Chain A
């Protein structure tokens, strides 16, 4: 009986995780520009992946699995922000984003604009 309840929780976690993964993919397709797409991909994706990993930890008995899952989730939480930051700055610097509909852009005019800084560093213009 207890086993069945545990397995039901595992199943629900797996479905919820996959659902968030699907939402991330849907967001990458539906949202308007690269920077907003990144919101969906980096966060909903991480949450979905974390939930599926949690389901694995609950399903298999033994602490070694739990330890590995915790390591994997911590690793995801550490790497996702770094990757998102790198892509975000690169996307902005490449001049392709943000798209129309952006209500406010503090970086556009200021001296901190990553595109301008990159070009100045390269000694062009």
Chain B
């Protein structure tokens, strides 16, 4: 995470040199500083900064796409011409272990329409979700684990 501080300092320096303390100046400085640090990658062995930053950006974009797509699905079903509503409470076994991973997964599940995190079991082995289209529980469980949890773990580990 030291690289993040370095990147912010570079952005600050850029703002200072240009006497431009605005959001645009900060963004330009941050991007430029990021480019400089990226060129100097061999200097920092074992760093996770770049993968973390780019990974979280990619994950965020993927999540936005997912939110819009499945919102349309719920909309269709509310208006009466979509899939039939079959509510179900499903237990999903967790691979995520740390607080951050579980929280992120739970929030992502809630944000994508059609699924909603209800509870985490006390031993942290399972996540209980409420699904709006829970006709095929096994498929839903596999899909959540496969797309969402895999992506989160890829970024964070």
Contacts and interface: CB of A to CB of B under 8 A. Distances in A.
A and B touch in their complex, CB below 8 angstroms? yes
Interface of A: 20, 23, 26-27, 30-33, 35-36, 38-40, 42-44, 46-47, 63-64, 66-67, 77-78, 80-82, 84-85, 88-89, 92, 98-99, 101-108, 110, 112, 114, 117
17 contacts: A20-B75, A27-B78, A30-B78, A38-B116, A39-B114, A39-B130, A43-B70, A44-B71, A78-B107, A81-B110, A84-B116, A98-B130, A103-B88, A104-B134, A105-B88, A107-B89, A110-B91
B43 interface: no
B118 A36 contact: no
Q: Is the interface of A mostly helix, strand, loop or mixed?
A: helix
A27 B121 contact: no
Interface residues of B, number: 39
B52 interface: no
A43 B134 CA distance: 17
Interface in B91-145: 91, 106-108, 110-114, 116-119, 121-122, 126, 128, 130, 132, 134-135, 137
Nearest to B114: A39
A106 to B, nearest CB: 4
Interface of B: 22-24, 67-68, 70-71, 74-75, 78-79, 85-91, 106-108, 110-114, 116-119, 121-122, 126, 128, 130, 132, 134-135, 137
Contacts of B111: 43, 46, 77, 80-81
Contacts, number: 127
Contacts of A110: 91
A31 B85 CA distance: 9
Given A38-B116, A81-B117, A44 B89 contact: no
- Among all A-B residue pairs, the 6 with the closest Cβ atoms: A81-B110, A81-B107, A106-B91, A43-B113, A27-B78, A104-B88
Given A81-B107, A103-B134, A23 B119 contact: no
A102 B89 contact: yes
Contacts of A32: 85, 87
A59 to B, nearest CB: 18
